[in-house]
Chains A and B, each alone.
Chain A
Amino acid sequence: MIQFFHVYKAYPGDPPVLSDINLNVEKGEFVFLTGPSGAGKTTLLKLIFCAEKATKGQILVGGRNIARIRESAVPYLRRNIGVVFQDFKLLPHRTVEDNVSFTLDVLGVPRAEAREKVRRMLKLVGLEHKADSFPLRLSGGEQQRVVIARALVNDPTILLADEPTGNLDPALTVEIMDLLTQVNIRGTTVMVATHDATLLARYQKRTVRLERGQIVSDEDGVKAARRMVAG
């Protein structure tokens, strides 16, 4: 589903953010991307949804080489990728329902159909009773669930989450991670960037570790969790 072949990313005058990244994520897989701050996790996710362009190398998403994608084709690629941000990126002056249906507005889904999909998605994330609330009236966990609903409302094949629990307390973290696991079980490929070791130990999923822009380990869930516990 996602393949990186010798991918480099560098900004002029700075050392490379990513060096010789080779990675293969299968369809329906759940992958943790971990490493210290500045290791290149966010940049790697940004390359997948074309918020950044690779300096060198090839990236295939759903069989399509996005290193050579035309600017005008980027929106259509993004319609298959849901993105969850640490800082939520919700529109404060729009209701929860409007924030979630924002994606469908962009895609041109008819209003009645969009409303139905939004209701279903809010039910999935447990927020159907908050449809008319404004984001700033919600807790951090609730806001993050709105973001997840927005990212999933279009049934994307890939869900990317950049530190989705970074601002949340442990109870809310579990709530969000359980939700992401559920989404993965339904068939969506999920990549979560996190530096939270307890998450890795608890959920035991494939873990790709980045350090100074390079992949230093790529382990299955059990092995990674064992190492976390030992280390």
Chain B
Amino acid sequence: MSVTAKARYFWRSAAVGLRHSPFVHFIAVTTIAIALFSAGMARGAARVLDNLLSSLGGEVEVTVYLAPELGEDEVHGVRTRVVELSAGEVTLVPPDAALTRLRTELGDLGDALAELPENPLPATLELRVPPEKRNPASLQALAKELRAQPGVSGVDYGEAAVERLSAIARALRFGALVAFAVVLGATVIIVAATLQLAIYARRGEIEIQKLVGATDRFVKAPFLLEGLLQGLLGAGVALLGLWAFGHVLGPTLGSLFAFLLGPGVAAPWVEPRLALELVGAGCGLGLGGSFVAVGRFLRV
């Protein structure tokens, strides 16, 4: 049989199979769609979480305290070195400006600062590090380098807060991965069990095919195609659901939580890459489920 004739035969058999037990196939498609919709939602939620973390990470600021005896040129020199080392944005806060800021922050109590014989605050450099360095390890290394610079008397970057934030992000990502693996495993089992029902209804056909000399591959091919079609349909339904979710609830969520979650919450929920991933996952689930299910009926 030519390849095209074979392909035509397999597609025809797969179509007959889908027509043969529509309810069972509907269940399989729905199961795949629910699993993929959940995975898509999880991806969307992860993206929002990333936005949240980077927006919080953006608040991380490194304060470099300068030695009080530095002159204007030396301060400028330290500032240049800090910019070179960190590749971030540096703002110089002179002692007077620091005192004014402190007075404002203290409110009514700020007047007490006027009693001081001299300004005790040193000049500082406020450094906003680039996003790729907003993690505990990079910040720690940067702080160490900065402390070693001449003219620098101290460095503070809220070490504990940064580490806590990173730990939370790690835990959330791990949890999402475990949840995804559980959903994936459960879906393969459900899809395989559902497909077994469909294949059970056609066990007579399989038996006859085997008795007249069909190879296992020949018997399996239409069932694998059925699984593939189910996966594609399931992915299509899931993408439709995600698109509808993004259009109906996305803008509302964006306006309600923009202050907390940042602008990412309003971004489209179905992007080309996600669509491709879900279609691939759908095909994988359908094929995997069919492969597991059909194997049981090949022993004739």
Interface residues of A (CB under 8 A from B): 49, 51, 72, 75-79, 83, 89, 91, 93, 102-103, 105-111, 150, 154
Instruction: Sample 17 A-B pairs with CB under 8 A, ordered by A number.
Output: A72-B216, A75-B215, A78-B210, A78-B212, A78-B213, A91-B204, A93-B20, A102-B212, A105-B9, A106-B212, A106-B213, A106-B214, A108-B5, A108-B6, A110-B1, A110-B2, A110-B5
Q: Is the CB of B1 within 8 A of A109?
A: yes
List the B side residues contacting A102 at CB < 8 Å: 208-209, 212
Q: Is the CB of A75 within 8 A of B208?
A: no
Q: What is the minimal beta-carbon distance from B280 to any residue of chain A, in angstroms?
A: 31
Q: Is the CB of B218 within 8 A of A106?
A: yes
- Contact of A89 with B210 at beta-carbon distance under 8 Å, contacts A72-B215, A106-B218, A111-B5 already known: no
The CB with the most chain A CB atoms within 10 A, among B9, B210, B214, is that of: B214
- Which 6 A-B pairs have CB atoms at the shortest separation, nearest pair first? A108-B1, A79-B213, A78-B213, A106-B214, A103-B212, A75-B213
Measured CA separation A103–B213 after assembly (Å):
8
Q: What is the minimal beta-carbon distance from A156 to any residue of chain B, in angstroms?
A: 9
Q: Is the CB of A107 within 8 A of B213?
A: yes
List the B side residues contacting A77 at CB < 8 Å: 213
Chain B minimum-CB-distance residue to A80: B213
Interface residues of B (CB under 8 A from A): 1-2, 5-6, 9, 20, 204-205, 207-216, 218, 300
Q: Is the CB of A78 within 8 A of B211?
A: yes
The CB with the most chain A CB atoms within 10 A, among B2, B204, B205, B212, is that of: B212
List the B side residues contacting A110 at CB < 8 Å: 1-2, 5
Measured CA separation A170–B211 after assembly (Å):
28
Q: What is the minimal beta-carbon distance from B32 to any residue of chain A, in angstroms?
A: 26
Q: Is the CB of A51 within 8 A of B215?
A: no
Measured CA separation A98–B17 after assembly (Å):
15
Specify which of A51, A72, A106 is in contact with B300 (CB 8 Å cutoff): A51
